[in-house]
Amino acid sequence: MKKRFLLLFLALVSAMTARAEASDPIKKINHIVVMYIENRSFDNMMYGFPGADTASGATFAKQIDAKGEEYARLALPPIKGNDALTPSSVENEPFSLDALFPRTELLPNPVHRFYQNQFQINGGLNNRFVQFAGAKAKGLVMGYHSNENSALWKYAKEYTLCDKFFMGAFGGSFLNHMWLVSAAPPVHKKARPSIIASHVDDPTRFADGLVTPDGYAVNTMLPEWPGAYNTETAPILPPQSAPTIGDRLTKKSVSWKWYSQGWKMALKDITYAWDDKPTRFSPHHQPFLYFKSCKHGSACFKKNLADREDLIKDIHEDKLPQVAFYKPGDNLSMHPGMGTVDNGDREIDEIVSTVKNSKAWADTVIILTYDENGGFWDHVAPPKGDKWGPGNRVPAVIISPFAKNGYVDHTVYDSTSILKLIEKRFALKPLGGERKLAGDLSKTLDLSR
């Protein structure tokens, strides 16, 4: 008798679920996985992708110098000993990096900061990237990789590629990670004068800083935990009180985790966050640590922050939370100077393949994207947003049984689009900074399946 009632109950639950999905198809999605790679522009990674808007065959402005004059040629930094066979300059146009820096080698790290990114965009002309690239990179920022045989392109061809997906904020990883989880700039109204930028509207008089003149942190600062080895060079940001997507999910009892490679090592040995190791754990890539609701020792810290190995374990054991963020460590992130394109691409393939071979795959949407452009040029002007962004285009691929197959979506998105999809699926109160100009990624999906 008990077995009969149990079967009847399960049948009733199944019928109710089916009716709910029929009336609101988005409820077919039970897992959203966000894989946040590092520092590559759309043209840098997707140049020549079929059907996408890339610099291949496009019209764009030539790079100009501080005087506003076009460079005759673009200077390159010393490469591989700067021998006689290595060019010291290239034409003032996009070029293949493959001969100079194969996907298996580390690239120099271009400048990618809040104000410099805006100077580079130059009102949408995108013609000052080389000028503000820094001495380590110079003309390399105009380069692109040939990725036809990569996992990134494989999934982009099989599922949906978004070719108008823009980084949420101008500048670097710090602000763009904060934007991903809170859609707002962190507040720092009592910053010491030495870290406040000045003359921010005039590139000729500009003095860089970590904090805007009106008190918002826009370049890399560190959370109270794990702190910094040298607080003079890496100041600490006071804990933030703004709501996060994690807060919204917790309030609705929606399971979620932020998985990060190297997390357990950082917990075990705090110097792991400071040492210059290939697998170094980067605290400024851990946005929830900056907020009071998830500070060191909190319930959120203990329950919702986890390691890469926990992600793999949770997938295999069918315990993947409803919302999962994954942050590769520096060596697998594609970040110039830290991780190669080849290593990062293999990590993409491993994580996506693991999800695809799990029970969760049937109702999962994977959003594979990059935090910011890393200082690399892109030819498309960002849409007019607000004083914080959006910045340049980055690759974004939607991988799911519900994703449109072999599709290039030209809808305008930015990183707040990820928040919009999560909020829509789980009926969450918006954080407030989601941009009206950005879609909610629903056009990438066919939920009639």
Poorest-confidence range of 266-270, 343-347, 434-438, 441-445?
266-270
Q: pLDDT (tens digit, 9 = 90+) per residue, 264-303? A: 988 887 666 655 555 567 889 999 999 999 999 999 999 9
Domain presence at residue 67:
no
How far is residue 395 from each of residues 153, 370, 380, 420, 446, measured CA to CA in Å? Answer: 10, 6, 13, 18, 21
Provide the phi-psi class of 39: left if phi over 0, else alpha when psi is between -120 and 50, else beta.
left
What pLDDT shows up at residue 276? Answer: 56
Q: Is 9 exposed, middle or buried (0-12, 13-18, 19+ CB in 10 A)?
A: exposed
Per the omega criterion (within 30 degrees of 0), is the bond before 226 cis?
A: yes
Q: Which residue matches tokens 């400024």?
A: 284
> Dihedral angle at the C-alpha atoms of 270, 276, 277, 279, nearest 10 degrees?
70
Please state which of the ranges 32-46, 71-85, 314-328 shows the lowest mean pLDDT.
71-85
Strands 323-327, 256-260: pairing kind = parallel
> Do 111 and 140 form a contact (C-beta atoms < 8 A)?
no
Q: Per the structure, how many domains does the chain have?
A: 1
- Dihedral over Cα of 378, 379, 380, 381: its sign: positive
What is the number of alpha carbons within 13 Å of residue 336 lying toward its C-beta? 28
Confidence of residue 13 (pLDDT cuts 50, 70, 90): very low
Q: How confident is the model at residue 143 (pLDDT cuts 50, 70, 90)?
A: very high
> For the chain, what percentages of helix, strand and coil (3-state, to nearest 5) are there?
35, 15, 50
The pair of structure tokens assigned to 282 is: 């980067």
In a domain, 271, yes or no: yes
Position 447, amino acid: L
Q: Which of 295, 206, 300 is nearest to 249 (CA)?
A: 300
In a domain, 9, yes or no: no
For the segment 62-87, the average pLDDT, to the nearest whole number, is 86
Domain range for 256 is: 28-49+146-186+221-444
**Which residues, in sequence order, are bridge partners of residue 413?**
165
Do the strands 160-162 and 396-399 form a parallel or antiparallel pair, or are they unpaired? antiparallel
Q: Which of 398, 389, 393, 388 is nearest to 418 (CA)?
A: 398
The pair of structure tokens assigned to 259 is: 């998985």
Nearest to 48 by CA among 150, 147, 159, 121: 147
348 vs 277: which has the higher pLDDT: 348
pLDDT of 15 above 50: no
Please state, for a pLDDT cut of 90, what percent of the chain lies above it: 79
Task: Yes or no: say if 262 and 307 are a contact pair by the CB < 8 Å rule.
Answer: yes
Give the per-residue pLDDT at 282: 86
Q: Is residue 106 assigned to a domain? A: no
User: What is the per-residue pLDDT across 195-226, written as a single tens digit (0 to 9) for each?
Assistant: 999 999 888 889 999 999 999 999 999 999 88
Strand partners, 90: 74
Residue 70 domain-assigned (yes or no): no
Kindly tell me if the per-residue pLDDT of 228 is higher than 90. no
> pLDDT tens digits, residue range 400-437?
999 999 999 999 999 999 999 999 999 999 999 999 99
Q: Is residue 306 situated within a structural domain?
A: yes
> Which residues have C-beta within 8 Å of that of residue 134, sequence separation ≥ 6?
110, 111, 375
Q: How much is the pLDDT for 74?
A: 97
Does the residue 86 lie in any domain?
no
Please report whether residue 69 resides in a domain: no
pLDDT value of residue 265: 87
- The CA-based dihedral angle spanning residues 356, 156, 446, 420, taken in that order and rounded to the nearest 10 degrees: 90
State the Cα–Cα distance between residues 277 and 139, nearest whole angstrom. 27
Q: Which residues pair with 211 in a beta bridge?
A: 196, 217
Q: What CATH code is carried by the domain that includes residue 340?
A: 3.40.720.10
